[in-house]
Amino acid sequence: MNVQPISGEPARRRRRPWRGGGPLALALGSVLLLVSACGGGDGAAGKQPAGKAGDRAASQAAVVIEPKNGADGVATSGALKVTARQGRLKSVKVKDAKGTEIEGKTAGGGTLWQPNGHLGASTTYTVDAIAVDSQGREAAEHTSFTTLVPKNTFIGQYTPENGERVGVGMPVSIRFTRGITDPKAVEGAIKVTAEPSVPVEGHWFGNDRLDFRPEKYWAAGTKVTLKLDLNGIEGRPGVYGTQTKEVSFTVGRSQVSTVDAASKMMTVVRDGRTVKTIPISAGAPGTETYNGQMVISEKHAVTRMNGETVGFGGEYDIKDVPHAMRLSSSGTFIHGNYWSGKQTFGERNASHGCVGLFDQRGGGDSATPAAWFYDNSLLGDVVIVKNSHDRTIRPDNGFSGWNLPWAQWKADR
């Protein structure tokens, strides 16, 4: 049966009022809260807050590395540089295959990086560089390249040897296996230091020899270190060094011996004190001994001396000269002499330019002046000759560079 409304209005279904309770309400409330939190203060879901859009933009800086990634046969000098465009360099790291880092410096307000020195030959390097723009945003670049493999090479043959104990006059002398036409580059790759510290300078003799010394003789007890970093140095066009080496030697006690060709006596001074005076025989008239400061560069218990090897023809050939020590590359020695007679020493200059000391044949008598001097001398000890009727020895004849004044030693060659 149908029931008609009293008022005559159409019948409507009644709805219960919502009171906000129950599980469904909690769920809906959580969703609304989440949307509000994600959408920001203006209630727009997913919209970026004002002022934050720049954080997502790429850096305006760019890193450019030369040579290009994968390059081969790269020059060891002048080829490597790292540049920042529209920014500045934050860091640059260059390493070889062993992990050794190459030192460098920046210029141009941080826009350019270059190595401090040369690179090694036949070596692969990696480069990692980072630049930043004005907003601090980073741009990075990584590359690797390999330097050239030289067809022609050179090394430096050095004196003294590692670990030696030498006299105060011993220079650091390096002879190169090829003539050098870029001495500045080669000398820049060589470092000689001393402890205690003292200024040490290099001097070129010709194009294949470089010596280093201080202004005055080394102090007794000084430790001297030679570092050769020649690998990759172009010493002459197309000729590259292949050598990386470090050697050290120690200076022993100070011994300086002075030969007076006029009085025919030698005075031996050790650590400032005269320890012995020895009769000698210097060069005879016409074959006088050089004047000047010389350095013992070789020691031979017994050696042969043949006049033909030093321009005296067949005037002498003595096969068993005892206690011989070289003073010059041209053939000057200070040595034992058994053939002139003991009465000669201190009385007459009779040699072909050497300094002779009385000795026994075979050198077996340790009591002779020659044996004593030999036993008490080191490579690098100084022997000075004065009052001889001959010129001063050339600085490049043996280790005679001490005869060159310090200002000339340091002067440009």
Q: Residue 387's CB: how many other CB atoms inside 10 A?
A: 13
Torsion of CA 399, 404, 408, 409, to 10 degrees: 20
Closest CA relative to residue 290, chosen from 395, 391, 398? 391
Main-chain phi, psi angles of 85, to 5 degrees: -110, 140
Catalytic residue among 203, 335, 352, 389: 335
Distance in angstroms (rounded) separating the CA atoms of residues 265 and 282: 9
Two structure tokens written together for 293: 């400061």
38 tagged catalytic: no
User: Which amino acid, 256?
Assistant: V
Residues near 304 by beta carbon (within 8 Å), at least 6 away in sequence: 317, 318, 319, 320, 321
Q: Which of 323, 329, 165, 181 is nearest to 248 (CA)?
A: 165
Closest CA to 379 of 311, 289, 273, 296: 296
The β-bridge partners of 202 are: 212
Please identify which of the residues 203, 323, 352, 354 carries the catalytic annotation.
354
Mark whether 335 is an active-site residue.
Answer: yes
Which residues form the catalytic set?
335, 354
